[in-house]
């Protein structure tokens, strides 16, 4: 799978990734920015082909990758002029690096464990260690809802800059 994803990255093709075996209808559309041993980084697009943040997925959990479908080709039209930029500027990108940057820049993110949407936590990363992260959890109304510690080894998806995170962030500002 990794070699196939690397070819798609080199070709700058739109892609649909499936990584939640418990929910095979769950997918993310976009453009690959990086394919690493442990994670892939995707610029996500919504159903209109508009930018919808970034998504980091555990490489080993991706069980299907689609490209060249009519739907994905239609998504390319609105975003073809947009530069598909690496938010990490080509620097090393371990999970700890990602969380450290999210903490430093105080970026609202969502973190999912074990490819299970029921484990998704929205919030701000406040502490990062080699084996865990601590987050200030934000509820659906934009209010602080306690502190949560997550083991890094269970993290399968990290998203930031998407419409979902932006809606929660807007509620925080109110």
Q: In the 8-state DSSP scheme, what is residue 154?
A: G
What is the structure's pLDDT at 81?
46
pLDDT, average across residues 20-35: 84
Q: How far apart are CA 44 and CA 49, in angstroms?
A: 9
For residue 41, pLDDT over 90 is answered with yes
pTM of the model: 0.85
CATH C-level class of 2-79: mainly beta
Percentage of the chain lying above the pLDDT 70 cut: 90
How is the beta sheet containing 14-18 ordered, strand by strand? 64-66, 14-18, 27-35, 39-45, 51-58, 155-160, 109-113, 116-128, 132-138, 144-151
Dump pLDDT digits (tens) for 53-88. Answer: 999 999 999 999 999 888 888 877 666 545 667 887
Q: Do domains 2-79 and 95-173 have the same CATH topology?
A: yes
For residue 170, pLDDT over 70 is answered with no
Percentage of the chain lying above the pLDDT 90 cut: 52
Please, are residues 106 and 112 in contact by the beta-carbon 8 Å criterion? no
Please, are residues 112 and 155 in contact by the beta-carbon 8 Å criterion? yes
**Average pLDDT score, the chain:** 86
Of the listed ranges 9-23, 27-41, 58-72, the one predicted with least confidence: 9-23
Q: Which residues contact 33 (CB under 8 A, 6 or more apart)?
A: 9, 41, 42, 43, 54, 84, 85, 86, 87
Using alpha carbons, select from 7, 109, 17, 92 the residue that is nearest to residue 54: 109
Phi, psi of 143 (to 5 degrees): -100, 145
Of the listed ranges 23-32, 124-133, 151-160, the one predicted with least confidence: 23-32
3-state secondary structure 54-107: EEEEEHHHCCEEECCCHHHHHHHHHHCCCCCCCCCCCCCCCHHHHHHHHHHCCC
In angstroms, the Cα distances linking 53 to 23, 25, 61, 63, 108 are 22, 20, 20, 22, 11
Dump pLDDT digits (tens) for 89-139. Answer: 777 788 999 999 999 999 999 999 998 888 899 999 999 998 999 999 999
Residue count of the chain: 174
Q: Any idea which architecture 95-173 has in CATH?
A: Roll (2.30)
What is the structure's pLDDT at 111?
96
Domain locations in the chain?
Answer: 2-79, 95-173
């Amino acid at each position: 799978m990794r070699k196939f994803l690397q070819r798609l990255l080199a070709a700058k093709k739109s892609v649909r990734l499936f990584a939640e075996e418990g929910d095979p209808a769950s997918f993310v559309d976009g453009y690959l920015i990086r394919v690493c041993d442990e994670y892939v980084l995707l610029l996500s697009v919504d159903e209109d082909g508009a930018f919808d943040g970034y998504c980091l997925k555990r490489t080993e959990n991706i069980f299907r990758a689609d490209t060249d479908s009519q739907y994905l080709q239609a998504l390319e039209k609105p975003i073809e002029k947009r530069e598909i930029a690496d938010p990490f500027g080509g620097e090393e990108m371990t999970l700890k690096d990602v969380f450290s940057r999210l903490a430093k820049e105080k970026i609202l993110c969502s973190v999912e464990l074990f490819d299970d949407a029921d484990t998704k936590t929205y919030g701000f990363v406040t502490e990062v260690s080699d084996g865990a992260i601590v987050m200030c959890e934000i509820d659906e109304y934009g209010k602080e809802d306690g502190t949560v510690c997550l083991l890094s080894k269970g993290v399968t998806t990290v998203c930031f800059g998407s419409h979902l995170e932006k809606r929660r962030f807007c509620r925080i500002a109110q």
